Amino acid sequence: MLVRNLVLGAAALLLMSVSPALAHGPTPKKAEQTIVIDAPPEKVWAIAKEFGGMADWHPMVETVETADGTRTVTLKDGGKLVDSLDDSSDEEMSYSYRLDTPDIEHFPVSFYSATLDVNPADGGSEVSWIGRFYRADTGNFPSESQNDEAAIAAMDEFLKTGLEGLKAKVEGGE
């Protein structure tokens, strides 16, 4: 009887440890990029704060259309993402937004929320852009083009390229 109870107990523990692993979907991921810009924060913020102005400085963005607190971002590869502005503060030089309508064929992310911050740094500015997101395919067995790695790579590239474009725009005085 004791042996049977031990075996049943061990089997129950094994099932409890395996079942959640088989049943879970994706976990949220995070991408964070920062860049130092040789300009005062106020100058950087004056350009970065325009929710509909991303096409002026982001190399991957073709156009941006805004209406009622949303923006439709048309990517140079033809993708379209619709974002909603959640919060914007001139005082804190920060804004936050979220993805309302994904385009997983062009950008392998099903949802994101992101924040762009401008802060003083050694006579210039440090800009950080943080995104929290889920991969395009939220099932248990996503394809390589819609898995966590694809989503992380896409978010990292978008944030990094955007910050490099912002730096070029601000420092180049375009």
- What is the model's pLDDT at position 11? 47
3-state secondary structure of 3: helix
- What is the model's pLDDT at position 174? 60
Q: How far, in Å, are 1, 8, 10, 12, 118 from residue 5 at the CA level?
A: 6, 5, 8, 10, 61
Q: Which residues of the chain have pLDDT under 70?
A: 1-24, 173-174
- What is the model's pLDDT at position 26? 81
- What is the model's pLDDT at position 173? 66
3-state secondary structure of 29: strand
Domain ranges, ordered by start, for the chain: 26-172
3-state secondary structure of 45: helix
Distance CA 95, CA 51 (A): 8
Q: How far, in Å, are 44, 60, 73 from residue 146 at the CA level?
A: 34, 19, 20
Question: Over the stretch 126-156, which tens digit does the pLDDT of each residue have?
Answer: 999 999 999 999 999 999 999 999 999 999 9
The model's pTM is 0.85
Q: How far, in Å, are 35, 134, 165 from residue 172 at the CA level?
A: 15, 35, 10
Going by C-alpha positions, the residue among 92, 87, 56 that lies closest to residue 69 is: 87
Q: Identify the architecture of domain 26-172 in CATH.
A: 2-Layer Sandwich (3.30)
- What is the model's pLDDT at position 2? 52
**3-state percent breakdown (helix, strand, coil) of the chain, nearest 5:** 35, 35, 30
